[in-house]
Structure 1
């Protein structure tokens, strides 16, 4: 049994006759007829009903045809993948993304590149705080997207978009209900909700954490927001994560004396300078221009 024979069988089913299948495949009718007879002899089952005016598939032929379509599709995928790899394109790309970054904007860029290189698999790793940078430095990621970077001569980075982090809490948050001004020292008594850093490197600077205060640690930004909405703590979140809640008054901005309640940040994409980017990684790098 060959792929050529299976393609002929499928084409007979699609065109309705041996002659039409032969023309579609740029073969002669006798060539197609002989190939199908050899396939029938090999399998020991009749695939074409030749008693009709036009040869049509038998029930066994219909069953084999359905399976043949799947086999042909997989074969075509393998051929495309082999051509993709032979051209020097990466079989996969690992991208570490800090989990607070706006995914719809990032996915729009990935979608554009995926259309050009459908054979390359994208592995997306969601990390917290310094985790994306850690993955890149340790060689586990080809690219990292994060607002948290430090000056590093081994890396190249560029700005993708600008965002704002805002300290917020529920209107039911006890320090707000008291009506007293919020100051750095007094906020040590309130619960600050912090997303746990996923980095395995030596700990970098903590972002906006009030030292010696009361802290709750969570593993993701969604849980952090839910705790804030419940009035059980306060914390900073990127504006795009809380835009709806701010508009509805479910969360309110905090002004804390001697604390950076609002922080303008740059979300950047980075890569290592000691690695030569393949064509897909290079295309992705170029596509990530300043979004907003």
Structure 2
């Protein structure tokens, strides 16, 4: 089978316009060229696509079924051409955004939706990691952009843009001993196991560590699950646990030693050693425009 895209275009145009002459006008070709292309396609398929017994060609049952598939093939070819054109213009085929677990933004999905509308051909990979992994991924060029907790000191090859702060809640499972107290002090937290978000490479600053007894996990969903089962208490961004608190599977603890909700500063970061392309710069701008408290 050696059919061509030109044959498929002639077939689809003839079916949509209702005649070979109209299809020829749409395609800017001679009617004989369109008729020949359709005839050759029928030869390749060993099928009659049109019934030519009347004044105008009518699709046969086989033609109607194959028309759907032909349209799909031509649509995919159009997408392929758009992607090739965008890459020829220097647009990256793929971007990796690394998001530190404690820096999860509630507006991230909105940002990515805007980005997808602007660059539909760019593949986006989102890596969710623990503290300490972000800088390694940026420096290696494995990720182009990162959302991370505020750096405690500057790195000469990492560019940082502060986004603001996210609320952080101290939570426990509804059956946990601390859930009965609700209002807790430092000693209460120290006496019970803490579920701590941690990085894979052991470079964590452990800013949020309080308890002497801890379990570690690099994934925020694991931390939530362990906490719900009463294995320990944890500290997580409010937006990641708010629905669990509202549903009653987690209890928000109220530290007596703090008058305000805990806050976590969040930075947008990228490496000065790996240039951002057009798509990367656009995503960077969208993330810079996120407004936090």
TM range (shorter): 0.7 to 0.9
Contact 2:103 2:264 in 1 (8 A): no
**SS of match in other structure, 1:282:** helix
**Aligned equivalent of 2:277:** 278
Residue of structure 1 equivalent to 2:220: 221
Structure 1 consecutive aligned stretches of length 4 or more whose deviation exceeds 6 Å: 178-181
Q: How does 1:208-287 map to 2 (within 5 A)?
A: 208-210=208-210, 213-246=212-245, 250-255=250-255, 263-287=262-286
Instruction: State the partner residue of 1:157.
Output: 160
Q: What do the CA deviations read for 1:226-261 (whole angstroms, capped 9, x no partner)?
A: 44344442221212223345557751323265x999
What is residue 11 of structure 1 aligned with on the other side?
13
Q: Aligned in 2, Cα 1:205/1:48: closer, same or farther, shift over 3 Å? A: same
Structure 2 residue 51 is matched with structure 1 residue 62: no
1:96 aligns with 2:98: yes
Paired position in structure 2 for 1:204 = 204
Aligned in 2, Cα 1:66/1:255: closer, same or farther, shift over 3 Å? closer
Q: Which residue of 2 aligns with 1:73?
A: 75
TM-score normalised by the chain length of structure 2 = 0.84
Conserved in 2, the CA contact under 8 Å of 1:130 and 1:148?
A: no
Bigger mean CA offset, 5-14 vs 149-158: 149-158
Aligned-residue offset at 1:267: 1.8
Deviations 1:205-232 (CA, angstroms, capped at 9, x unpaired)? 1122136x11123343233234434444
Distance of 1:102 and 1:234 partners within structure 2 = 19
More moved, 81-90 vs 143-152: 143-152
* Distance 1:155-1:15 versus aligned 2 partners, 3 A rule: same
Aligned mates of 2:147, 2:13 — CA distance in 1: 47
CA 1:46/1:215 → structure 2, altered by over 3 Å: closer, same or farther? same
Please state whether the residue corresponding to 1:251 is helix, strand or coil: strand
Distance 2:197 2:58 in 1: 65
The aligned counterpart of 2:126 is 124
